[in-house]
């Protein structure tokens, strides 16, 4: 598992206050490590980019629930992990629906035979 150093000073308090420069600094700091972590879990480039974006959106919405600014990185990776789990569940449901759809088409009569055959 990829570990990110937590001992550097991060502008988490300023981000909580809504400072866009603070969010930009946090995004620059965590964008690549978060992407690498997510890609290792989902093995799909576009899905990984989407999950990283969703992770930062959720972080911005819920930063008030972060109890310790020093744990921002761990908290962010936890959000990303949950997003990966949601991705797997969604993909699994879609796969099941696709298989169900294919099975229902397998049960249809063969079009090559006419009604009199």
**Per-residue pLDDT, 109:** 55
> What phi and psi, each to the nearest 5 degrees, are found at residue 18?
95, 15
* Residue that the structure tokens 């990185």 belong to: 73
Q: How confident is the model at residue 113 (pLDDT cuts 50, 70, 90)?
A: low
Summarised one tens digit per residue, pLDDT across range 61-109 is 999 999 999 999 999 999 999 999 999 999 888 777 667 666 665 555 5
pTM of the model: 0.74
* Domains in the chain, CATH or no CATH each: 12-99 (1.10.1740.10)
């Amino acid at each position: 598992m990829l570990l990110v150093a937590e001992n550097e000073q991060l502008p988490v308090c300023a981000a909580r206050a809504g400072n866009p420069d603070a969010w930009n600094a946090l995004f620059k700091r965590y964008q690549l490590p978060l992407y690498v972590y997510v890609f290792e879990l989902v093995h799909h480039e576009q899905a990984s980019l989407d999950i990283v974006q969703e992770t930062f959106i959720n972080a911005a919405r819920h930063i008030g629930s972060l109890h310790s600014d020093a744990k921002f990185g761990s908290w962010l990776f936890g959000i990303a992990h949950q997003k990966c789990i949601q991705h797997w569940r969604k993909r699994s449901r879609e796969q099941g629906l696709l298989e169900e759809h294919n099975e229902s088409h397998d049960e249809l009569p063969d079009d090559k035979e006419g009604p009199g055959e």
